[in-house]
Structure 1
Amino acid sequence: MNKTTLNPLAKLIGIWKGNTGIDLAPKPEEDENNPYYEILTIKPVDIAIENAEEQELTAVEYHQVVREKSNDKVSHSETGHWIWDKDNNMIMNGFSIPRGVCVLATGELKAVDDQLTFSVFADGNNDHGGIVQSAFMQKKANTKSFKRTFEIKGNTLSYTQETVVDIYGKVFSHIDENVLTKEG
């Protein structure tokens, strides 16, 4: 039996689509609010994950593709994992984007009735995760912190995330929100 079916991450597995996304993005002159749609594909990781013969983890892998409604252009592509440490009730979200940025954000999983909430956070001072970025990104669009909350109830997944970025001579809260529905 696949370990993923024995834990809360199993609720994530599938293809999720949403077309009500809002992206508040920094620009040099005037910040933009870009409506978007996306596809989020989540698959099980079919291996037992063990660290130092002490820690057992379960994971799912995902790929997120976001397109702007105005021109159908891909504005964001993200590949990563959601990882669950049952013994410590810790949820981890490790991902990379092809701009030279990688994040490991950590937090808690909460289950109330039939709703799951995953909340994770990372910054440069976080003992439980961190942000790694290329020299170019450190200089031009330095990510200071990242937080994300996923809420899953039935076939609906809603999320909000905030990436604090030092860009264009200012510190900016880049915010993304969407509601997705599981297909099939």
Structure 2
Amino acid sequence: MDVFDKAVGGADIVSCLGPLSGLAGTWSGEAGIDVAAGRHGPVETPYRERLQFEPLGPVVNGPQLLYGLRYATTAWPLGCDDPFHEEVGYWLWDAKAGQVMRCFMVPRGVTINAGGDASADATAFTMQALLGSTTFGILSNPFLDQAFRTVRYDLSVELHEDGAFSYHEDTHLQIHGVEGIFHHTDCNRLTRITD
């Protein structure tokens, strides 16, 4: 059987998403906490977020067959109308390799391709990207690479029995003129608002 014969379409795509299948749809959450670097130390910002996952696939890379979710997210500080964060990208599932991937860009000029191992029925999984990796890596624009270099990105995701999902991400930054690593973290718990 040719890899192209294995493709499925329409509503069947969700059944091919492995551990990502529970994420398809539009989600909202108001329990977000962002911890970012400020002039005088860490600054904590509560936020609300809207996240949309649209199934796609198959994506055929020769013998590799991927299914995934096209996604976009926007986050607003609580009580504010203007967003402080946006992302666009893809969450992908490689069933043969047993890997989840998240490829995304933020409008600050940063691109991250993170990945990790998972089983098809996993309800919790992690992904990671490292600066300098030729597979799961990080790219930044010249200013950010010098002033706020991202050296590592860690993401953990959990799908809950009540239908919600939560995430925790830790972006490890080397800030120019500051010793050590700053952990820029974001976490939220979201509920589905549409399928």
Q: TM-score, normalised by structure 2?
A: 0.86
Look up the match of 1:103. 112
Look up the match of 1:174. 184
Quote the Cα distance in structure 2 between the aligned partners of 1:62 and 1:111: 20
Quote the Cα distance in structure 2 between the aligned partners of 1:117 and 1:108: 11
Aligned-residue offset at 1:10: 2.5
1:166 is matched by which residue type in structure 2?
Q
SS of 2:118's partner is: strand
Query: Greater share of strand residues, 1 or 2?
Result: 1
Higher mean alpha-carbon deviation, 90-99 vs 162-171, is at: 162-171
Aligned-residue offset at 1:40: 0.4
RMSD: 1.7
Mapping of residues 1-184 of structure 1, within 5 Å: 1-2=9-10, 3-7=12-16, 8=18, 9-45=20-56, 47-51=57-61, 53-110=62-119, 116-126=123-133, 128-154=135-161, 155-167=163-175, 169-170=177-178, 171-184=181-194
Question: Whose Rg is larger?
Answer: 2
Unaligned runs of 5+ in 1: none
Q: TM-score, normalised by structure 1?
A: 0.90
1:181 is matched by which residue type in structure 2?
T
Aligned-residue offset at 1:72: 3.4
1:130 is matched by which residue type in structure 2?
G
Quote the Cα distance in structure 2 between the aligned partners of 1:71 and 1:30: 23
1:159 is matched by which residue type in structure 2?
Y
1:94 is matched by which residue type in structure 2?
C
SS of 1:57's partner is: strand
1:151 is matched by which residue type in structure 2?
E
2:182 is matched by which residue type in structure 1?
F
Quote the Cα distance in structure 1 between the aligned partners of 2:52 and 2:58: 21
Question: Does the 8 A contact of 1:131 with 1:143 survive in 2?
Answer: yes
Quote the Cα distance in structure 1 between the aligned partners of 2:48 and 2:176: 26
Question: Does the 8 A contact of 1:158 with 1:179 survive in 2?
Answer: yes
Higher mean alpha-carbon deviation, 35-44 vs 24-33, is at: 24-33
Aligned-residue offset at 1:68: 0.4
Aligned-residue offset at 1:71: 2.9
Aligned-residue offset at 1:167: 2.2
